[in-house]
Amino acid sequence: MGQTRQTARDEGVAASSANGGAADPFADLHPPLTATQAVVEADRCLYCYEAPCIAACPTGIDIPTFIHQIRTGNLVGSAETILEANIMGGTCARACPTEILCEQACVLNAREREPVEIGRLQRHAVDHLLAANGPHPFTRAPETGKRIAVVGAGPAGLAFAHEAARFGHSVTVYDARPKPGGLNEYGLAAYKMVNDFAQQEVRFILGIGGIELRLGMGLGKELKLADLRAEYDAVFIGVGLTEPVPLGIPGEDAPAVEDAIDFIARLRQAEPKSSLALKGDVIVIGGGNTAIDAAVQARKLGAEMVHLVYRRGPEHMGATHWEQDLARLNGVIFRHWARPVAIADRGDVAEVTFERTRLADGRLAGTGEHFTLRAAHVLKAVGQRLAPEGLEELRREGGKLWVDDRYRTSLPGVYAGGDCIARTVDLTVQAVEDGKQAARSADAFLKEKES
Amino acid sequence: MIDLGCRIGGIESINPYWLASAPPTDKKYNVERAFRAGWGGAVWKTLGEDPPVVNVTSRYGVHKSAMGGIIGINNNELISDRPLEVNLKEIEAMRREWPDRVIIGSMMAPMDEQAWKDLAIRIANTGVQGLELNLGCPHGMCERGMGSAIGQVPEFVEKTTRWVREAVDLPVFTKLTPNITDIVEVAEAAKQGGATAVSLINTVNSIIGVDLDAMAPKPMIDGKGTHGGYCGEAVKPIALHMVAEIARAEATRGLEISAIGGITTWRDAAEFIALGASGVQVCTAAMLYGFRIVEDMIDGLVHYLASHGYRSLDALRGRALPNTVDWNQLNLNYDLKARIDEASCIECGRCHIACEDTSHQAIRIEAKAEGGRRFVVVDEDCVGCNLCMMICPVPDCITMEPVDNGLPAITWPEHPKNPARKAAAE
């Protein structure tokens, strides 16, 4: 069985490999399991009691139960178990770094060294429910007459909207972009979200009813927080981190330089992907999953040499080991311990000067030794920060929105969750949990106000 | 090299493995393939009087485990649906071409003396080494007064066995149905009738499953289904028990046993022989994997015998019988406790929840200082039931350790709490 698993995983990487020959380079990174593969894989699950995988899932999905339901042929029930805890179970099944979450906690790591492929099983069940196109699995409580505004139609905002709609509230979701989904639509690598899955999932979430979508309306522009507070009974802020952090070095505005998240967003919206074909070399600066996503996709678009330059070592990278391996398999060249100090525009290419770095007494320090790389494209992926517009009234903490343990901001009736709040985890699955919990908190607040 | 040669019902066989009377032994083509693969003998698919029966489509149903493996199958097939003469000619040819292999003729007739005797003589004339009386088929044939309709009545079992013994001078194997209350009673009847051996078990009556869309039992025949004979690994424990009962009973002493029931590996065969079987018959395992499985059945048994110092199957035969006793002879003071090896524990929690919900609440969860959890057996509450050990997914992680409680061995008849003992003493 271990053999079968390994092959399946290898296929996933192979299909995504830049040297995949005629295969679509943007094909599914982890192809869906066949019905037989799913049952074989489900059979590996030990059905642990108080399973460690549940504790490792930020949304607390009852994993042994949903896998058991796959085993018994109850696929709709399996999907409902997943969606009950995580309405974006479909995206999380595709995008979660399961290697540091549920699959890392799987007890089979100790026994067979290969965990149950929880992510792919989750996708199997959720995809079945979505494809069946049956009635929405959840029903709304009787209409409460309460109206809630959600700012940001990303994972946090949509998870909030779903949960609030279940409680019977009417929700209006605003988003500055032309399409809903947030990073699911604009930020995740194309090979993780094939077949327009982000939109498919949004349609599913809206299927519960009671949620209205208003697009092209951004906070600080078309929307004012004070107006929303006046018009609605509660407000949820899930705007994410939309402003790229600059490198703060000379020449950053050279024409060859682009923010990696903008590059990924362009690619996600481009059809066919080959219309963005790249020539020449690419430099990616940064060490998180966005840097990996940008580097791998640059290779898939035809870039010759892709250099991923990170100021610290592999063990310090925000990207998981699995993501780093994926990049290596796709021919990305890693250059650790170097930071950019200047960019020069040389016509067709940009020349980036790097200084080698090292740790001195636990702090990062330049060595004074320099090297240069030339590339047709330079992608910056050193992080995003909160765009401050429209959020001036809210208390901050470390540049992000402050919330208490019930997702309440410093203003009564205003909640926040997702990447825009102050916490260390910046995963889709955590944003979904934030939205879910914030909705429960807001519901309690509205019911309290009532009584 | 240990020779697996043995005598079953007085018949020399190169090994203890015979194919049971069933679809795999329906014709020369199959039996030839089986002999080439190494089977020591074959009990030909049951022969009846002409005209031959007519079979239905479909014929088999499957019982799978949650893990997808086949636990057992059932079938609604009747006896051979080919003309008697065709079968007899093929048997005769096979006897000629494979002189070192055993062919037993399986037969079935209604409760009519002449019918049994005529058929027995015709089959005996082919040169078969023995006859097997099919008194067990639990589907179809029993509706016509044959098979289990005879096998469920000890008097009929005795009569049919006697008729055949009177008609031919060959070893007679009376094949028993498990669909009865006391197997010893029918085995004794067979012995009274003069049986050389009993073959058991025939299939267990069953409905293998229900098609929840078509709302009919499986397998379906034009929208309807019927009960059929259940066989395969699932029935092995039933067969082991019945074989042991006959081997242990005073009333059936000296009656040889050709064991049948879910035998899939050499280990299964060894278990039946250790409980007193002279040889074994196999069907389902061959149907599921092909005749080649006999290769490891032979090889594995040879290695087992060698590694345990047994020079032949005779040395193994019945070895487990002295330790197969009635519950009344068990030591009530024997004490076992579960032991969990923390180093190999993967912390799945299965032992805890099994004991907590359904046994004696004897496995506690403790948080480990370094993270994770530890499972601790509470000796005072552990009754040594084996449940945790059985369900633990890690081999040898949970073991059952005998503990010395200082108490002498005592059985129920001797036990102070036994009211009957008190009564006897008074």
DSSP character string of B322-353: TT---GGGS-TT--EEEEE-TTT-----HHHH
Of A327, A354, A383, the residue that ends a domain is: A383
The residue segments making up the domain with residue A425 are 147-242+386-450
Of B316, B349, B372, the residue that ends a domain is: B316
**What number of helices (H) and strands (E) belong to chain B?**
14, 20
Are B309 and B385 in the same domain? no
Using omega within 30 degrees of 0 as the cis cutoff, is the peptide bond preceding B58 cis? yes
Residue A21 pLDDT > 70: no
Is B353 in contact with A43 (Cβ distance < 8 A)? no
Task: Kindly state whether residue A186 falls inside one of the protein's structural domains.
Answer: yes
d(CA A265, CA A258): 12
Are A236 and A186 in the same domain? yes
Are A255 and A159 in the same domain? no
What is the domain count for chain A? 3
Task: Kindly state whether residue B78 falls inside one of the protein's structural domains.
Answer: yes
Are A320 and A402 in the same domain? no
Are B213 and B178 in the same domain? yes
In this prediction, what percent of chain B has a pLDDT beyond 90?
96
Task: For residue B348, give the nearest of A39, A40, A107 by CB distance.
Answer: A107
Of A334, A349, A383, the residue that ends a domain is: A383
Are A168 and A263 in the same domain? no
Give B148-184 pLDDT, tens digit per residue: 999 999 999 999 999 999 999 999 999 999 999 999 9
Q: Which CATH number fits the domain that encloses residue B109?
A: 3.20.20.70
Are B297 and B187 in the same domain? yes
Are A342 and A379 in the same domain? yes
- What's the confidence (pLDDT) of residue A449? 85
Are B49 and B155 in the same domain? yes
DSSP alpha helices (H): ranges in B275-310? 284-289, 294-307
Q: Which residues of A51-69 are buried (b: 16+ CB within 10 A; e: fewer)?
A: bbbbebbbbebbbbebbbb
Task: Kindly state whether residue B14 falls inside one of the protein's structural domains.
Answer: yes
Task: Kindly state whether residue A140 falls inside one of the protein's structural domains.
Answer: no
Q: Which CATH number fits the domain that encloses residue A128?
A: 1.10.1060.10
Give A157-204 pLDDT, tens digit per residue: 999 999 999 999 999 999 999 999 999 999 999 999 999 999 999 999
Task: Kindly state whether residue A321 falls inside one of the protein's structural domains.
Answer: yes
Catalytic residues of B: 137
- What's the confidence (pLDDT) of residue B425? 64
- Residues A400/A72, Cβ–Cβ less than 8 Å: no
Residues 6+ apart with CB under 8 A from A162: A87, A138, A205, A208, A211, A435, A436, A439
The residue segments making up the domain with residue B253 are 6-316
3-state secondary structure of B367: strand
Mean pLDDT, range B410-425, rounded to an integer: 86
**Sign of the C-alpha dihedral computed for residues B237, B238, B240 and B245 taken in this order:** positive
Task: Kindly state whether residue B332 falls inside one of the protein's structural domains.
Answer: no
What is the domain count for chain B? 2
Give A321-362 pLDDT, tens digit per residue: 999 999 999 999 999 999 999 999 999 999 999 999 999 998
d(CA A291, CA A309): 9
Task: Kindly state whether residue B100 falls inside one of the protein's structural domains.
Answer: yes
Window B:359-398, CB contacts with A under 8 Å: 365, 372, 393-394
Closest CA to B199 of B259, B255, B285: B259
Closest CA to A75 of A135, A127, A8: A127
What tokens does B170 get? 């060959």
Is A48 in contact with B348 (Cβ distance < 8 A)? yes
- What's the confidence (pLDDT) of residue B1? 77
- What's the confidence (pLDDT) of residue A343? 97
Q: Which CATH number fits the domain that encloses residue B414?
A: 3.30.70.20
Q: Which CATH number fits the domain that encloses residue A315?
A: 3.50.50.60
Task: Kindly state whether residue B280 falls inside one of the protein's structural domains.
Answer: yes
- What's the confidence (pLDDT) of residue A8? 33
Residue B426 pLDDT > 70: no
Show residues of chain A in contact with B396, CB under 8 Å: none
3-state secondary structure of B229: strand
Show residues of chain A in contact with B65, CB under 8 Å: none
Are B306 and B394 in the same domain? no
Does A111 lie at the interface with B, CB-CB under 8 angstroms? yes
- What's the confidence (pLDDT) of residue B45? 98
- Residues B109/B115, Cβ–Cβ less than 8 Å: yes
Q: A52: nearest CA in chain B?
A: B348
Are A369 and A414 in the same domain? no
d(CA A432, CA A161): 11
Using omega within 30 degrees of 0 as the cis cutoff, is the peptide bond preceding A272 cis? yes
Of B276, B301, B316, the residue that ends a domain is: B316
Using omega within 30 degrees of 0 as the cis cutoff, is the peptide bond preceding B51 cis? yes
List C-alpha distances in Å: B281 to A377, B135, B255, B403: 75, 16, 17, 41
Are B218 and B268 in the same domain? yes
At A9, the pLDDT band (50, 70, 90 cuts) reads very low
Mean pLDDT, range B356-370, rounded to an integer: 96
Residue A15 pLDDT > 80: no
Window A:33-72, CB contacts with B under 8 Å: 39-40, 43, 46-52, 71-72
- What's the confidence (pLDDT) of residue A6? 38
Task: Kindly state whether residue A34 falls inside one of the protein's structural domains.
Answer: yes
Show residues of chain B in contact with A49, CB under 8 Å: 348-350, 352-353
**ipTM score above 0.85:** no
- What's the confidence (pLDDT) of residue A20? 42
Q: B394: nearest CA in chain A?
A: A111
- Find which of B65, B342, B346, B357 to mutate to test the A interface (most A CBs within 10 Å of its CB): B346
Give B386-404 pLDDT, tens digit per residue: 999 999 999 999 999 999 9
Does A13 lie at the interface with B, CB-CB under 8 angstroms? no
Residue B358: phi and psi, rounded to 5, are -125, -5
Are A97 and A219 in the same domain? no
Task: Kindly state whether residue B323 falls inside one of the protein's structural domains.
Answer: no
Task: Kindly state whether residue B41 falls inside one of the protein's structural domains.
Answer: yes
Of A362, A383, A404, the residue that ends a domain is: A383
Are A371 and A409 in the same domain? no
Task: For residue A52, give the nearest of B67, B347, B365 by CB distance.
Answer: B347
Are B123 and B75 in the same domain? yes
- What's the confidence (pLDDT) of residue B177? 98
**Sign of the C-alpha dihedral computed for residues B419, B424, B425 and B426 taken in this order:** positive
Are A180 and A249 in the same domain? no
Of B316, B351, B367, the residue that ends a domain is: B316
Task: For residue B353, give the nearest of A39, A49, A107 by CB distance.
Answer: A49
Are A258 and A369 in the same domain? yes
Give B27-70 pLDDT, tens digit per residue: 999 999 999 999 999 999 999 999 999 999 999 999 998 777 89
Does B346 lie at the interface with A, CB-CB under 8 angstroms? yes
Are A166 and A217 in the same domain? yes
Are A186 and A265 in the same domain? no
Task: Kindly state whether residue A194 falls inside one of the protein's structural domains.
Answer: yes
